[in-house]
Structure 1
């Protein structure tokens, strides 16, 4: 489909002779992913849909209890500290952004009255500012009104480096002005093509100024609201036991008509993914199970019981391995894996190249993940316009051996390769989960054939993905040689996703290990390409710059992608749930209902 054909179709959508969904299907047939097609409509001032789930209840309440399993148990409820997806999912029950992303990549208003566009005068043509009009009549759970003051405060709170917020990167380079009680203006320092980052999605959740105003900056961890949230969401806080249970009740003053359907909400944490799947698909004891990292064969057996269904939602998520080029075993200024150190052996690019050849991605996909993932060599896989066309993968033990032989890494008497007294011996960690442990085992077996010794380490998921600054086993510490996990792409645009590859986002003691760059590795060319992309208004040139950032990290084998991951969840047959691959699971929780 050429540019003229696309423009013609856009005109038909504006005229009402072609539906938005038909436009998206037409784009898909031409190889343009749904999120990209939705973005094309947004950029051309075509109004977004209200939701991808048609909500049928005619009144709020009456749905009884809603019971959700989050087997990676939440440990906090402040979205701006939620480095783990589980905590983002839990926080979104109570706090809301100005807008979120539906499964087609549409930008859907939440606390905003409408989505900014050039047509409604809210989006500056030069990319330097955006005006958000706020929904009126919204109340915080304690009855106080939601206003522009809360939006401005959230910006200042997250932008303050002393707050050490996970979301700082989305706020530190903007200015937010209050126009009136229900209007704010976001000002960018330079032309900003992707303006829908601050106040949108998982990083966009608004905090009440009257609850957090005394706890900004250095006092941020002392706020009672971190564990007892007062938000604007469809459910009000009742109880939270970190690492175990969340209980909430219907918000009778919720700002969406006839929502929510359920009277109470229980979110149970802990356990494991297999047990969570069984409790929904086989026993029906719970209504929905999140993030089912369960082998395909096991899921199919459970589905056969007929009580529930597995929901597969495309996303930009990726299962990958980080190879640590810093020294995780030497402490400098109170932290290990410091950028001031150098890994004894993984700092050698030849070793990293050989390791990448020892991963049988096809076997991992076929025998473990099934519908849950597709083998890939690219960190960014969706939307397609941002995926590299030159990154490829191969499983080749012989080639890995030759590369190491040629580089002087010789086998010792114990069969382990070494050079200059340094052995290729590594600790490889991930969270406790059967598919991940089986993936580790496959990789370890191949590494043994190449003279690389791997010690496998498994960490309880609630610990591994927590934001506990005092725990050495969290994934953001990277106190090991290599680690594997899934990282989520929170928007149908990879700019924020790729800030995991920039030098100013390196996780360290100073930012309480909440920086997005867990690898600690950086490259001047990647930094330059990323900064340029942030201001490039030409979408083709911008995509090429973001692809370059991705390629630099993948070709250096710092980020070693395994699978392009789908969202895998399970719901009982009676549950209607609106799940998006571009936002957290609870992004539109108020619209869930039972038939």
Structure 2
């Protein structure tokens, strides 16, 4: 299986990281019509749902596409395009609503849904969500007469229903001609893209005929126009929000503090997944040696690093999967080496890395040099965290080159160029099964395993856990995560949350994505 492996701060594929509503202006009444404008930090790129893996891409897609099932405010699976379902260990059969239409006026059919899944599962597609939202080996079969579509896997799969929560369904002509999705949308959602200006803004118009949203959602009272404006600078976004030019924006950095204290703004606090970093374990990389990985990990004070990265708003990491996760055990405590600079120095000495004349360690004529990559779009906290890591490693004789890039460049480096040794890579998924393709299997660029991980204990436990349904497999899923930390394959640092501040509007979110049928403009904002 081959897929792009960027999970940068993903709302990728989380089930229901959180929900909430803005309360802009405190007493504002709903307004019909008008324009709702929200900020995104980067251009979403290609708008084909089969290729959407960045959080910003999925945020754009969420206003134009529906999923088979959705998530309620309390984290339960609720009907969306499917009105009911029948779950078995190796299959789930969805009965579709009969009143759903595509943005081009055509009726949504079971064959449309089946084609979405089979397209993603086709190796030729090279979809980054194959093995994540669509489990490896999954096939779809439509029954037009019964109005059903059945998704099946070769073996039992733990979260076969839940994995469809964020699978956006393409319909209409684009089912056969995906080129229509390069800068357009073809979905059943309440909005349709009408203008795309890459790097600047994306404008959507309402579909008033939309009546099939989750939990009775319709397009009756939502804004006439929906605009997503690309605003890379967080301070600029904050100023635009306060001035009333934006109705919503999400904040990670120092501007969060002043907005959170502003009583005139609505606030949505959501889990953003983990702040964590990976070591590249390719044969020619320093991180290939577990002794080096563990020494580098010991050289860092995780509590201090987590506070820097999250701006003091995060909590110590307790697992790989974001809340609300199906398995609630702490997989981190006791499995990450404690902060001990002296032990880190001794470990590198033992591993044969000796200090050179310039203080940088060498072994077999090669310097211990690391290229530390991170996304600058995640805010100043991540930049400061990378600088802290570089300083701590320099103290034990490691040469560190900082490489801050935007999300899309991070994706390219993780897959095509492989030009990194350590990467700070937040991940926001709420099912452990969604991580397997990224933590095992074929290495990039042939597969999604961007860090070249080879952890036999993890792979064995995952194989066993995947055959158990729901909570039955939790003990094995949790042990599999701990096995990764024991080997310092990746290092969880902090559980991050974000602030979405709102002005003149209210709405709910699911995993950082808009639930568009809940958007309301308000007076007095």
Q: Sort the TM-score into its range (normalised by shorter chain).
A: 0.7 to 0.9
User: Cα deviation per residue 1:342-385 (whole Å; 9 max; x = unaligned)?
Assistant: 12422111111111112222223335524642233743464352
What is the match of residue 116 of structure 2? 154
1:416-565 maps to which residues of 2 (within 5 A)? 416-432=360-376, 433-465=379-411, 472-473=412-413, 478-489=418-429, 491=430, 493-504=431-442, 506-508=443-445, 510=446, 515-537=447-469, 539-540=471-472, 542-565=473-496
What is the match of residue 279 of structure 2? 323
What is the match of residue 287 of structure 1? 247
What is the match of residue 405 of structure 1? 349
CA distance in 2, matches of 1:200, 1:279: 33
What is the match of residue 173 of structure 1? 137
Aligned residues between the structures: 489
Could you say what the CA RMSD is over the residues aligned between the two structures, in angstroms? 2.8
Selected match of 2:302 from 354, 361, 383: 361
Question: Does residue 387 of the first structure (1) align with residue 294 of the second (2)?
Answer: no
Distance verdict in 2 for CA 1:525–1:473, change over 3 Å = closer
SS of match in other structure, 2:287: coil
SS of match in other structure, 2:46: coil
1:188-203 maps to which residues of 2 (within 5 A)? 188-201=153-166
Query: What displacement does 1:99 show?
Result: 1.2
CA distance in 2, matches of 1:134, 1:420: 63
CA distance in 2, matches of 1:155, 1:474: 26
Distance verdict in 2 for CA 1:54–1:563, change over 3 Å = closer
SS of match in other structure, 1:184: strand
Query: What displacement does 1:84 show?
Result: 1.2
Query: What displacement does 1:324 show?
Result: 0.7
CA distance in 1, matches of 2:416, 2:320: 18
TM-score normalized with structure 1 length: 0.76
Structure 2 segments unaligned to the other structure (5+ residues): 1-13, 24-29, 213-217
Distance verdict in 2 for CA 1:381–1:325, change over 3 Å = same
User: Cα deviation per residue 1:77-106 (whole Å; 9 max; x = unaligned)?
Assistant: 112111211111112221221012345321
User: Quick check: 2:207–2:219 contact (8 Å CA) kept in 1?
Assistant: no
Selected match of 2:210 from 254, 267, 275: 254
User: Quick check: 2:106–2:172 contact (8 Å CA) kept in 1?
Assistant: no
Structure with the bigger RCO (C-alpha within 8 Å, sep 6+) is 2
CA distance in 2, matches of 1:286, 1:237: 19
What is the match of residue 592 of structure 1? 519
SS of match in other structure, 1:545: helix
Selected match of 2:45 from 71, 75, 79: 75
Selected match of 2:505 from 563, 572, 575: 575
Distance verdict in 2 for CA 1:539–1:453, change over 3 Å = same
Query: What displacement does 1:531 show?
Result: 2.0
CA distance in 2, matches of 1:557, 1:193: 26
What is the match of residue 212 of structure 1? 175
Structure 1 segments unaligned to the other structure (5+ residues): 1-34, 39-50, 117-121, 216-222, 327-341, 466-471
CA distance in 2, matches of 1:249, 1:449: 55
User: Quick check: 1:386–1:547 contact (8 Å CA) kept in 2?
Assistant: yes
Query: What displacement does 1:536 show?
Result: 1.6
User: Cα deviation per residue 1:244-287 (whole Å; 9 max; x = unaligned)?
Assistant: 3110111122124354511101101142233223332x323201
TM-score normalized with structure 2 length: 0.86
Distance verdict in 2 for CA 1:253–1:61, change over 3 Å = farther
Distance verdict in 2 for CA 1:441–1:86, change over 3 Å = same
SS of match in other structure, 2:452: coil
